[in-house]
Structures are given as C-alpha cells and as structure tokens.
Chains A and B, each alone.
Chain A
C-alpha cells in the first residue's frame, strides 16, 4: 500500500515538468509548424489563411531577396558546420594529447584553453569584432614587432566579399537530391541483404518516390528556374569559424582528455612491449579508442553550429549576407519584419536539420542503455 502511494507521489512530482515540456517544446513546435503553413504577417491581424507548403516552396525555389537570403544562409551554415567541426576536433585532439603527456602546470594550461567556454557568445562576438576590424585589431598586430600592418582590403575578415568556390543553387540542390536518393537506395539494398525487410521497404519507397518527384514531378525543372546564381564558400565565414573555434575547442579538448584518461595504462604498456613506438601506440591503440568520443563531439558541435545565432549577429550584424545563417534570418524575418509565417517556415527547417543530427543520437543512447 505504502509503495503504491509512493509511486503515485513520484509520478505527481514528475508530472508538472512533463506537462510544461509537452507544451513548451512539442506544443510550441506544433504551433510553429502550423504558422509556417499560413500567410500570417504581423501581430493582431485576424484574416489568417492557410497556404499549405507554399512558404517552404518559396524558400527553396522562390525568387525574391528573402528566399535568396535563406538559401545563402543555408549554404553558409553547411560551410560553417564542416569547417568549425573540423577545426574544433583537430585542435581539441592536439591539445588533449599534448596535455596527456604528464605536463607540468597542466591545470593552468587546461584553464587557459577552456576559459572561453565560460563566456557568452555575445562577449566573444564583441571582442572578435574588434580583433577582426580591418583597420585595427589583428591586422595591426605586426606593428607590435615593428612590422607593417596587414592591408585592410586583402585582410577584410568577416567583411570580406570574396568567394572561394561558386555554384548555382540549382546545381547544388540537384547534387544533394541525387546523393540523398543514392544513399537511400544503397541503405535499402544493405537492409535487404541483412534481411531487414521493413527498413529496406521504407528506405526503398522514399527513394523511389523521390525519383518520381525529381523526374516526373518536375522538381529539377523548378530548380532550373531559380534566379540569382552565385552561392559559394564565402571567405568571410572563416572569421566566424576562427572565433567559434576559439570559444569551443576547449570543449572538445575536455572531452578527449577525459577519454584519454579513461584508457588503461596497461593497454599502452602492452603495445610498447610488443614493440610499438610512441607514435604507433597512438596510431593503433589510442586513436581507435577515441572514435566514439569523436562521434559524440561531432554531434554536439554540429547541433550548436546548425543553430548558431548570437555570435554572428553580434560580431557581423544582421545585414552581412556573406555570413548570414538561418538563425539570424529567422529572427529578423519574424521579429523585425513581422513576417511570422516565413519566420516559422525557416525555424521548421532549422529544427529538421537539428533533429536529423540529434534524434538518431538520442535513440541510440537510450537503446544501448536499455540493453545494459
């Protein structure tokens, strides 16, 4: 009897949190999905009507500045995510391995590498805006050693207008679509070979219907009509990557360091006895053991970079298209431009991108936990 009352109490204690999160996370997400399918502009306007998926269609193939801007932001986010993850992982791993060599003053070094994590992105943005201002900051650092300052037009940092690689939206999205279709069909084939008919069927169906949509439904032609060709890898984005890496690489360092400390010394010792030199110990023993950490770090950094907002907004302002990202575009569209429907549509796409990274991770984490 006692136990039953206690069980009920436990559920009652958890219930308010569950209800609050149900409303504030899932209810609100549902509402955002709904708003994204309307034409709602501005607060207090009563004649809201449904427009179906038109807002999404416009974002991907519409002509007009807000839609071009969205696509530019999407390209920028992909570039940023790839560079930022690569930089943070490699720098974090390097520092962690160095700190794992029985270093004197290790705690001091650790503190120095990790302190930017304690700062607000707003502080980082304010400080790095100045470090990157073309007529001052890093460009004048050589003067400290008697050199000449770097020329501002060559070293424009986040105000740089140059692009490394340029491509049209049509080409890029066609390529991505084809890659997704090939991926899905390959997944279906593998699942079929492993006798998982349900997975094979679902992946195969989605893949085939995508093929149908692309070739019969006219998706490729529609993409061909998209104007404004010049998207690309923007040089300005590298400045954002540097500032973000300065702030976040300490995090990957901490993750790698914790993992390195978890590798039993006997393992390395055994490898040394077998004739491995120190480099080979890392190559064949340590690095393979760090792989799961690399995956976790990629997912954590990836979801941070897909929703990045404040760092870029404070550093470069909201109007620099070369470093625009969906987080900024959504905020300005909804809360400055009062176009709530389009803002919601951008937000939905951000959510889908993040969910694509996070949901498999959560599912996997809890599946292994149940098995344990």
Chain B
C-alpha cells in the first residue's frame, strides 16, 4: 500500500458513500410525499370555499381560504363528537383500570391454570366481531340498552379487556418479585401491595394502555353502527353518513374527516412513543 493510493481510494469510497446517502434520502423523501398526498388533498379541499371545489381542480391550491366547510362540519358533527367523547373516556378508563388489576393478578399472583385461562382471554381480541354481533345485539335489546351509549361503553370495556390485560401483564412482569415479597413480609395484603407498590410504578403502562384504547374506541365503526341510534351515533358513523346526501359536498366530507381524525392524531403526535409501544404489544410477545 503506497502513501498516495490511500487518499485516492478513500476519496472514491467517500464519493460512493455520499451517492448511497443521497439515494437513501431521495427514497425516503419520495415515500414521505406519497404518504402525505392524502393529507394535502384533505386540507386543500376543506379550506376552499364551496363554489371553488370542482372535480378537475382538486389539486390547485385555494384562491381564497375559507373556513366555511369547517364551520359546517363542526355544526353537523359536534353532537356526534360529544357522543364519541362521552363513550370513549369512561370506556377507556374502565378497561385500563380493570386491565391493570388483571395484569397484576396474572403476573404476581400466578395460579394453576393461568396459562390456559389467559390465552383463552386473549383469543377475544382477535375474533372477527361479526361472530358475536348478533348475540350481542340480542343481549343489548333484552337489557333495553340498544340505542344508548351504555351499550357501547359496556361492549368496548369487555372487548378491550384482553389487550389491556396483556399489556399490563407484560409490563408488570418487569417489576421484580422481590419488591412484592418484601411488601408481604411487611404485612401488606393484596390491595395494599397494589396501591403502594405496583400502582405507583404503573404510569407508563397506563399511558400506553389509555392511548391504545382511546384510539381504538374512538376509531371503531362496527359496534357503533350496529348498536347506536341516530341520537347516540359516534363520530365515525356520522362521518360515514356525510356521503349519503344527494349532492356530495366534498369540502364538508374532508373537513369532517379532519375533525374525526383530530383527537387521535393529536394524541399520536404528542405521545407517539407510547402509541408505538401499544402497537407492538398487540403482537402478543411483549
């Protein structure tokens, strides 16, 4: 190896490297644009005054920005937005709290048969909900709950239990058993151990579960369209019906889509790290 060969070789490698880097960034930017195209169309359309929306000019930026579509969407969808909040918040919190207690039992108070009971519980989060929809509808009719938000809250709590239990069980597995044993020696009982030892360590677990459940319940459609009546419709159902009218108002639909997406999008951008953790927990092996 001569003294002059080395720099030339390095320069060549560097040039090749920077070409590769360029290609990597170009590919990433290309795909980022593809992913963002729908967002551009949504905002572009919803910010145009209605008269300016024409089928062949959807990509041209608005001549003048108008909030009319958003005002109309808020007017039309705000009762449904409220329904979604009223149903999502208690269902999320309830399924999180119960899931936390279940996870505590399944990770720190393992009993014989737990390895059969828990997978059987988990199966409930994979089933197509069509396979329980008719009996569910029957039960809610018998309880005279169809058309109320209670039916949806109850439904979402029950079918949310598998995933919330799973996430907390895997999360609590990280808490050393010695902590529990030390508490037991100090005379703490089941509930004291939970409130004094386990619960104070649970905050990240709760953040993951609450974000996950909030997103799932807010976005859900099948239960909502089956169990709600026109007065209790959550926002997803109302959005799907915006398209039903005679003259399709695209700017209203796009503004409505944006409004529907806003809460979960907000949570995702604010707390994306925890959102991803919930996402990955769904693949069972935590």
Contact = CB atoms under 8 A, between A and B. Distances in A.
B272 A114 contact: yes
Interface in B31-53: 31-32, 35-38, 41-42, 45
B128 interface: yes
Given A140-B55, A331-B222, A354-B127, 4 more contacts: A95-B28, A120-B261, A123-B219, A296-B284
B102 A123 contact: no
B213 interface: no
A119 B41 contact: no
B197 to A, nearest CB: 13
B19 interface: no
Interface stretch (B1-9, B62-70, B111-119, B202-210): B111-119
A9 B131 contact: no
A355 B38 CA distance: 34
A144 interface: yes
A29 interface: yes
A208 B188 CA distance: 61
Interface string A101-132: 10100000111111111111111011111110
B136 interface: yes
Contact of A131 (B41, B122, B264, B269): B41
17 contacts: A21-B121, A21-B161, A28-B135, A31-B135, A98-B28, A122-B260, A123-B236, A130-B250, A137-B58, A140-B57, A296-B284, A314-B240, A331-B133, A335-B133, A335-B137, A344-B134, A365-B119
B114 to A, nearest CB: 9
B123 A362 contact: yes
B136 A28 contact: yes
Given A24-B158, A137-B41, A251 B279 contact: yes
A26 B158 CA distance: 13
Interface in A132-186: 133, 135-137, 140-141, 143-144, 149
Contact of B134 (A20, A35, A122, A125): A35
Contact of B243 (A109, A126, A344, A350): A126
B175 to A, nearest CB: 15
B72 interface: no
A199 interface: no
A127 B257 contact: yes
Given A140-B55, A366-B119, A120 B127 contact: no
A296 B284 CA distance: 9
Interface in B89-136: 98, 101-102, 104-106, 109, 111, 115, 117-124, 126-136
Interface residues of A, number: 103
A121 B37 CA distance: 17
Given A21-B124, A119-B261, A114 B38 contact: no
B83 interface: no
Contact of B128 (A20, A98, A327): A327
B127 A330 contact: no
A126 B253 contact: yes
A127 B38 contact: yes
Contacts of A135: 55-56
A17 B131 contact: no
A98 B24 contact: yes
B279 A21 contact: no
A307 B236 contact: no
Given A7-B111, A109-B32, A113-B32, A123 B269 contact: no
A14 B280 contact: no
Contact of B282 (A98, A129, A300, A361): A300
Given A130-B254, A296-B283, A25 B35 contact: no
Those 7 A-B pairs whose CB atoms lie nearest each other, nearest first = A120-B219, A307-B128, A10-B109, A118-B268, A28-B132, A310-B221, A351-B131
A363 B131 contact: no
B220 to A, nearest CB: 8
Interface in B227-286: 236-237, 239-240, 242-243, 250, 253-254, 256-257, 260-261, 264-265, 267-269, 272, 275-276, 279-280, 282-285
Contacts of B283: 255, 296-297, 300
A262 to B, nearest CB: 11
B219 A351 contact: no
B221 A122 contact: yes
B115 A9 contact: no
B151 interface: no
A32 B117 CA distance: 22
A70 interface: no
Given A9-B189, A246-B35, A340-B134, A351 B285 contact: no
Contacts of B25: 103
Contacts of B191: 9
